[in-house]
Structure 1
Amino acid sequence: MAREIAEQPAALARTLQSLRPQRAALNRLAGDTRAVLFVARGSSDNAAVYGRYLLEVHAGRPSGLAAPSVATHYAAELDLSGVLVVSVSQSGETQEIVETQAWAATRGARTVAVTNDGSSSLANAADLALVTEAGTEVAVPATKSYTAQLAAMAILAGGLSARTDALDADLDRVPDEVERLITARAGVDAAATQLAATNEALVSGRGLTFGTALEAALKLEETCLRPVRGLSYADLRHGPIAVVDADHVALLVTAADGPMVPGMTELAHDLRRRGAAGVVGIGGDAGFGSAVDVAVPGPELSEPIAPLALIVPAQLMVETLARKLGLDPDEPRGLSKVTQTDPSE
């Protein structure tokens, strides 16, 4: 896992270089489509959450997350004409995702596959495949394949938007920012120590960084065997925040700018007032950093592109925490690299 985290700058550079020429084809395929639906599971689903926010905020395209069981178990007869369906799978072989893409095509959708294997079933069946260049990923927890998927989401947004140049400047800086974060490891060990002190944790973010919060929570669960809730801070305030006490550590993630920073900063203050055992913050501005107990610097990237690098300190933190707990971060208990949703598959 540590080696593959370190490979991310090169993987991101390769992926961005490879996929940028696809933006024109994406624009032609999307054409006059009225909406975008993402189909994914696991880490790929968290990448899709980022894609959904980015398409709506940057490209002005109504987007949402599809429920694969609507296709695979209910075989619903939906009219998907005028819909672009984007299926996301690292392996391209998760049967549920392959079947859902095929179903969507029969219902009139145009299809895009995002996968790390250009010869996979998902890529071969799609109208257009965005093949990431992460290279073979050996560790079970997705790291470089996940950030490469985020890069594909940024390319997708550029292809479906008239404001491509608005993303390019920061995209060019992503590999170097990821390299800087990996080399510095600022705050990572202190954050892992804080999280090791208790079994109770929650993770929160909002908007364009919400997918990052969900991915950080998933990594803590699958790699460190911690029961973790990943919540939007809006949902957290609508009731679950009542459980926060001296046994809880909160992990908050936010970009360095954008409309969510003030709310995340106030949430950090609130959690400390409620007596949380600790508040760890990844990213944010100076005010956010002073509001948390352990500040882990994030990337110097604008909010729309920050998620491509913002997850990296969380990956480092999780790998460190797993080893502190005597666990093998490369092969979490009971998991495999390609997951089939239903036991019969």
Structure 2
Amino acid sequence: MPAGKHMTDEIEIQPEIFANLLDARGEIAEVAAAVARRRPRFALLAARGSSDHAALYAKYLIEVLLQLPVGLASPSTTTLYGARPDLTDVLLISVSQSGGSPDLLAVTESGRAQGALTVAITNTASSPLAEAAELSLDIRAGQERAVAATKTYSATLLTLYLLVDAIRGGDGTHAEALPELASTALSERTAVDEAVQRYRFADRMVTTGRGYSLATAQEAALKLAETSYLSARSYSGADLLHGPVAAIDPETAVLALTSNGRGGESIREVLDAVHERGADVCAIGSAAPQAPAAHRVPVPDCAEELAPVLEVLPVQQLALGLALARGFDPDAPRGLDKETKTR
């Protein structure tokens, strides 16, 4: 089997998965209605790995669209230290594509016992996590054979968006064009292929974004590290300017997620700063054509809160292409375990 075959297939199937999720809006609306009836005063998100990046996306969605304060759980406070905080009136969302992570299961069981309304977001409807939570949603991505998460990450993002949108009374209208937009993004390969050739010899890369796009900037760093063994770090645009920018030089490649909207507007100052320091900047997103960058990968425009779902598609193609160009098989990365088993 050709190197990267599983990852290639799972990148390409994402428009179909988005369509399937849009067809499941009725099921998502039922869960959303149950959440809305409970009127939570705070949201808590628990996840690991790529799912943790999806949870960061949900944090922005909930704080901006629902106007609720949100925290990211530290599972070790439950599993190592035995913390059992009072979670009355808290919405606890646990995100895990396998639904088998012991620490997330422990957090969910403990949270439910301490009064939280628990919701599991998984790719395994019959998983222990889905059974432990009061409510659950299947991201409907199908069996994942690639080691590096691709379709499960984007499907989780869309599921979380549809859930939050439904909680606020929406019907997912802004997401209806995503399957077609995703097909367009995946088919326009020229800029990605050029980026592969440009960065195939890079030793280190910094990824950055602001607002909703920060989640996919973090996912980008993970994908580059686990498939191409690049030394990749991710910073929010604001944090990058407060210290780490001092380490940016002409030997540094910077991958910036920049789409139309407030997040994309605010990242321009960051790109100007790293560009002045001589960094080789690759801009990905609907605002990429206007970005101060050495290389640009445009992405179809959509509502800003949905941009990360599309932005990750060329990121995944870039990670796959770089792995193959550097002589690696992303379907057989060194020492990578697909399921997080930490307690």
Match 2:238 to one of 229, 234, 239: 234
1:125-154 CA-to-partner distances (Å, cap 9, x unmatched) read 111111111011101000111111001111
Question: Residue 339 of structure 2 aligns to a residue in which SS?
Answer: coil
Moved more, 241-250 or 23-32: 23-32
> Pairwise mapping of residues 193-208 of structure 1 onto structure 2 (< 5 A)?
193-208=197-212
The answer to whether the 8 Å contact 1:265/1:288 transfers is no
> Pairwise mapping of residues 235-254 of structure 1 onto structure 2 (< 5 A)?
235-254=239-258
The answer to whether the 8 Å contact 1:91/1:116 transfers is yes
**Cross-structure match for 1:50:** 57
If the length of structure 1 is used for normalisation, what is the TM-score?
Answer: 0.94
Instruction: Give the whole-Å Cα distance in 2 for the aligned partners of 1:29 and 1:91.
Output: 23
> Pairwise mapping of residues 283-294 of structure 1 onto structure 2 (< 5 A)?
283-285=285-287, 288-289=290-291, 291-294=292-295
**Paired residues, number:** 336
Question: Residue 124 of structure 2 aligns to a residue in which SS?
Answer: coil
**Cross-structure match for 2:29:** 23
Change (3 A) 1:239 1:179: same
Instruction: Give the whole-Å Cα distance in 2 for the aligned partners of 1:16 and 1:333.
Output: 36
The answer to whether the 8 Å contact 1:68/1:100 transfers is yes
Coordinate RMSD, CA, aligned = 1.4
* Runs (4+) off by over 6 Å: none
Identity rate of aligned residues, in percent? 39
**Cross-structure match for 2:186:** 182
Question: Residue 114 of structure 1 aligns to a residue in which SS?
Answer: strand
If the length of structure 2 is used for normalisation, what is the TM-score?
Answer: 0.94
The answer to whether the 8 Å contact 2:288/2:297 transfers is no
User: Following TM superposition, by how much is the alpha carbon of 1:19 offset from its aligned partner in structure 2, in angstroms?
Assistant: 4.0
Question: Residue 262 of structure 2 aligns to a residue in which SS?
Answer: coil
Structure 1: gaps spanning 5 or more residues = none
**Cross-structure match for 1:109:** 116
Question: Residue 187 of structure 1 aligns to a residue in which SS?
Answer: helix
The answer to whether the 8 Å contact 1:265/1:287 transfers is no
Match 2:226 to one of 222, 226, 234: 222
Instruction: Give the whole-Å Cα distance in 2 for the aligned partners of 1:297 and 1:40.
Output: 30
Structure 2: gaps spanning 5 or more residues = 1-6
The amino acid that maps onto 2:236 is: S
Match 1:124 to one of 108, 125, 131: 131
Instruction: Give the whole-Å Cα distance in 2 for the aligned partners of 1:288 and 1:81.
Output: 47
The answer to whether the 8 Å contact 1:60/1:161 transfers is no
**Cross-structure match for 1:143:** 150
Moved more, 259-268 or 331-340: 259-268
